[in-house]
Structure 1
Amino acid sequence: MTSRRARLLALVTLVLLLPVVAFVVLRARDTSGTSAAQPVSAPTTAAPTVSPVPTDLTVIAPGRPGEPAATRPAHEVRDAGAAPHNSFDVWFVRMMIPHHAQALEMAQLAPDRAANPAVRALADRIRASQGPEMGLMRGWLKTRGIPEDAPGHDHGTMRGMQSPEALRQLAAARGAEFDRLFVRMMTEHHEGAIEMATNLLKVGSDLTLGEFANSVATEQTVEIDRMRQALAG
């Protein structure tokens, strides 16, 4: 009986020890060099190759008006920076903004007062052109950090500017009387702008303003002729 109990106890002990033995065997295999998983290295990416900048490049540098272009090494050519301007350019823009503003004030009266369709059409053209032109000039000043106001200057003294009394007479007029006053006043106003633009073309240095002044002189000369034809017809 004792022998039978001893065998039974040995069998139970063996069953209990089997999981432990199995764990030890598997652990030994995982830590051995033959069965352990090897780490995977991330693929390496070669650094891009930067080609050296050629030092023998040349560029064509335009000359001054009337002078030929010149060929120069690229490393000697630098950014020219902002377009140069002088005090006459600044004066022109500061004066032309209020000059345009008064032209718009007069043109805005035409739709409800003018009798001649040609006069109304000319007023529409003035509003469509001079409004954006004022934005262009204000942008020119803002880009250069120049204030719009000209301290101490009386804009009413500029050629072509109409007096407050003349503007009141125009606003009170209707029909053919308005057409007559509008053409006379706007013609004087345009002549003043043409004179300002022509003067700038003589003494200004900013190329963009030079193109703008040339456009003002040309277009307003055409508009003067159209206004006179409108009354003549």
Structure 2
Amino acid sequence: MAMPTKAPGAFNDADVTYAQGMIAHCSQLVEISGLAPGRASNGDVQDLASRTRTDEAAELAAVRGWLRNWNRPESADEGGMGGMDMSGDSGSDMEMSGSMSDADMGKLKAAAGASFDRAFVKAMIEHRHGEIEMARDEKKNGRNATVKQQADMMATMQEDKVESLTLLLAKL
């Protein structure tokens, strides 16, 4: 399913916050998925990482398109023209649901083989739960019809992914 790169019509700060949060969230998923080729030992985990990198890159393109269309920055740190600072402070470590801390990222980078596979899938589950939470917030507080529709579809897709990831984790 391709996400639209334009979200015409009225929007509010919740829409901007959601889009900015999705950029941070998707970017971290691309980063952790990029670790798998040299560390994952399970073929299903390697395939998951490859699919995730492709899917998240497409989502990033769409969400960046929304923000460009609205003339808003990609992060709240880029000028504060809408959206909220989700870091909780002026630091660069995003404190949003499902995102990995720098310490957790370091542990994942240091892992290999079966321990990487398990840690990677656990991180993916947490990320998906975070995306579900973000999508629900958007559906509740957003204004843009296109973005709210995408958030609704995203929540359903992420719930399905959590189920699949949970099954994969049980096999590892």
Specify if TM > 0.5. Answer: yes
What residue number does 1:122 align with? 48
Residue number among 162, 165, 171 corresponding to 1:227 in the alignment: 165
Residue number among 143, 152, 157 corresponding to 1:205 in the alignment: 143
What residue number does 2:74 align with? 148
- Give % identity: 38
Report the Cα distance in structure 2 between the residues aligned to 1:96 and 1:141, rounded to whole angstroms.
11
Cα deviation, residue 159, structure 1? 0.7
- Alignment of 1:159 with 2:85, yes or no, is no
What residue number does 2:19 align with? 93
Under a length normalisation based on structure 1, what TM-score does the superposition of the two structures give? 0.62
| Contact 1:122-1:223 within 8 A present in 2 as well | no
Where 1:83 maps in the other structure, the secondary structure is coil
Structure 1, gaps ≥5 residues long: 1-81
Where 1:157 maps in the other structure, the secondary structure is coil
Cα deviation, residue 231, structure 1? 2.5
| Contact 2:67-2:73 within 8 A present in 1 as well | yes
Superposed counterparts of 1:31-50, under 5 Å: none
| 1:231–1:147 CA distance, 2 compared to 1 (3 A) | closer
Where 2:10 maps in the other structure, the secondary structure is coil
Report which of the two structures shows the higher radius of gyration computed on alpha carbons. Answer: 1
| Contact 1:197-1:213 within 8 A present in 2 as well | yes
Task: Please list the CA deviations of residues 118-177 of structure 1 after superposition, one character each: whole Å capped at 9, or x if unmatched.
Answer: 111211221111111111111111112112220382152111111111111111111110
| Contact 1:122-1:227 within 8 A present in 2 as well | no
Cα deviation, residue 96, structure 1? 1.2
Under a length normalisation based on structure 2, what TM-score does the superposition of the two structures give? 0.82
| Contact 2:41-2:113 within 8 A present in 1 as well | yes
| Contact 2:128-2:158 within 8 A present in 1 as well | yes
Report the Cα distance in structure 2 between the residues aligned to 1:122 and 1:228, rounded to whole angstroms.
13
Report the Cα distance in structure 2 between the residues aligned to 1:159 and 1:232, rounded to whole angstroms.
23
Cα deviation, residue 111, structure 1? 1.9
Report the count of equivalent residues: 152
How much is the aligned-residue C-alpha RMSD, in angstroms? 1.5
Report the Cα distance in structure 1 between the residues aligned to 2:49 and 2:157, rounded to whole angstroms.
14
- Alignment of 1:170 with 2:108, yes or no, is yes
**One-letter code aligned to 1:131:** A
Report the Cα distance in structure 2 between the residues aligned to 1:146 and 1:230, rounded to whole angstroms.
38
Greater share of helix:
2
Where 1:156 maps in the other structure, the secondary structure is coil
List 4+ stretches of structure 1 deviating above 4 A: none
**One-letter code aligned to 2:10:** P
Structure 2, gaps ≥5 residues long: 1-7, 88-92
| Contact 2:122-2:169 within 8 A present in 1 as well | no
